[in-house]
Amino acid sequence: MSASTNEPSNAPTPPPQPPASPTPAAGVPAFQGPHQRRPTIKPPLLRPRKVRGGVKVPAGDVAPASAWAAQRWLRLVESVAPGSRLVEGLEYAREGQTKRLNITTTGLDAAIQGRADRPYATTISFGVFSHDQWDKVVEAMTEGSLYAAKLLAGELSPNVEDIFAPLDLKLFPVEAQEVFHTCTCFDWRADNAAGASGTPRPTAGVWCKHVCCAAYLLAHRLSAEPFAIFMMRGIDGQELLERLRQRRAAASAGAGVTPVYQQRIPGLAEAQWAPLESCIEHFWDAPSSLYEVDMPISPPPVSHPLLRRLGQSPFLNAPFPLVGLLASCYDTVSQHAAADPAAPPPAPHEPDPEED
């Protein structure tokens, strides 16, 4: 006879289990009991964190109407950036939310403080001209005496693009695709999402308010320093003027004369040197190979190169010719420097008693 199904089993009854807790969201630690505090989530700030002594745009116009370089950059910015973010970016620029602003030969680099704990790293660049391209630009500026004269006087002519256009170059960007920008904020990363390769797109995507803030600061800088546009294209303004002076001096001295001053030495300018911190203890120690260098002293290929570079004396009504006097001094110093150091010095002049 089979056992009845209603007969109780001899197996022990398991204790009742507590109800299962809900699965926590991603990134939120699970609540394990009354001994553990629930995580505190800070609400987002309504205003950006204040910055003391930040870089700012003063009250009033970002750039005066006479600053054509700044106005040209502003027209491009206001045509490609969203209006709401332009307003927020200008507010950031007015309040001085930028902790750092550097313009180098690779572009603009800024640290802009928002509502996060750390400032956002923001960059703007236009693309750098090569060394050969700048050589062609300097040559074209030398041929156009009007452009060269204004640049040497510290003025940036509004029609300076006439120098760059025949070379298929643009000093100022004219389209959104020619402006490259990046930012580490969430808005920029969300609007300019990475493609299938996973690499960000530092190109003309959607502008965040931090990029707009940096753009307004760049416009304000261009209003006071229009030569900063050359820095954005890969060359320092003073270096450009120096190379322009060289070309003009060589052209006025005649063909076949090489410049005395050369800013970039091929093979040496590209060399990688150890950082100063690693060799500071032996910085002033001369290597043994220094004594093997043969440095013959000879007159320069251009007579009085410094005086030629400086030009005429600014003292028009001076009682003596300053340039001629300096030229005589330079000749005397050069003769003594080129003299044989092993030769005995000239005997001092002794007065003749009969001359009294």
Q: Roughly what angle, to the nearest 10 degrees, separates helices 68-80 and 209-224?
A: 170
For 288-315, how does the pLDDT look when each residue is reduced to its tens digit (9 = 90+)?
777 777 777 777 777 777 777 777 777 7
* Token couple for 81: 């950036």
Cα–Cα–Cα angle for 143, 147, 153, rounded to 5 degrees: 125
Q: 218-222, 228-232, 320-324: lowest mean pLDDT where?
A: 320-324
Q: 113 with 119: CB under 8 angstroms?
A: yes
Least trusted range by pLDDT, from 75-89, 125-139, 190-204, 323-337: 190-204
Q: Give the tens place of pLDDT for each residue, 16-72.
A: 555 555 555 555 555 555 555 655 555 666 678 899 989 999 988 888 888 999 999
pTM of the model: 0.60
CA distance 334 to 297: 9
- Residue 239 carries which side chain, given as an amino acid letter? E
Contact call for residues 313 and 327 (beta carbons, < 8 A): no
pLDDT average, residue stretch 217-237? 93
* C-alpha to C-alpha distances, 186 to 113, 114, 162, 323, nearest whole angstrom: 13, 11, 41, 62
* Amino acid at position 2, single letter: S
Would you say the C-alpha torsion 74, 77, 83, 89 has a positive or negative sign? negative
Mean pLDDT, all residues of the chain: 78
Show the 3-state SS of 73-137: HHHHHHHHCCHHHHHHHHHHHHHCCEEEEEEECCEEEEEECCCCCCCEEEEEECCCCCHHHHHHH
Q: What is the pLDDT of residues 143-170, one digit of tens each?
A: 877 888 888 888 898 889 999 999 999 9
pLDDT at 41: 56
Q: How confident is the model at residue 199, as a pLDDT?
A: 45
Length of the chain measured in residues: 356
Distance CA 114, CA 89 (A): 11
Radius of gyration of the chain (CA): 35
Residue 181: strand pairing partners: 124
Whether the pLDDT of residue 200 is over 80: the answer is no
The whole-number average pLDDT for the span 182-198 is 71
62 CB burial (10 A radius; 0-12, 13-18, 19+): buried
C-alpha closest to that of 114 among 182, 42, 50: 50
Which residues lie closer than 8 Å to 129 by C-beta, 6 or more apart? 137, 169, 233, 234, 235
Query: Which pLDDT does position 3 carry in this prediction?
Result: 47
CA–CA distance, 47 with 85 (Å, rounded to integer): 15
Listed by start position, the domains of the chain span 68-253
Q: Decide: 59 and 94 in contact? Cβ < 8 Å.
A: yes
Q: How far apart are CA 236 and CA 242, in angstroms?
A: 10
Instruction: Mean pLDDT check: name the lowest of 35-39, 114-118, 133-137, 196-200.
Output: 196-200
Average pLDDT, integer, range 184-199: 66
Beta partners for 55? 98
